[in-house]
Amino acid sequence: MRIQIQLSVAGDKVKEEVLEIAEHKLGELTDEEIENAIEIKIRTWVDQMVQVEWEVLE
């Protein structure tokens, strides 16, 4: 299964990628379980791509 992802910041697309999940890993999962697996795959990708830094100025 291939999943296309677009990451946008303030409406501007900054990154696009296609993630894959091997069909054999999905096996006989229900639709809900497959959706959960996709969400986990996307969250993991976002965690790797996005970094926010901040500091207190006053």
The pLDDT tens digits for 13-25 are 999 999 999 999 8
Confidence band for 27, pLDDT divided at 50, 70 and 90: confident
The mean pLDDT of 15-42, rounded to a whole number, is 93
Confidence band for 9, pLDDT divided at 50, 70 and 90: very high
Q: Are 26 and 37 in contact (CB under 8 A)?
A: yes
Longest Cα–Cα distance in the chain: 55
Q: Rounded mean pLDDT of the chain?
A: 94
Q: Quote the pTM value.
A: 0.80
SS3 of residue 12 by DSSP: strand
Judged by phi (left if over 0) then psi (alpha if -120 to 50, else beta), residue 22 lies in beta
Phi, psi (deg, nearest 5) at residue 38? -65, -45
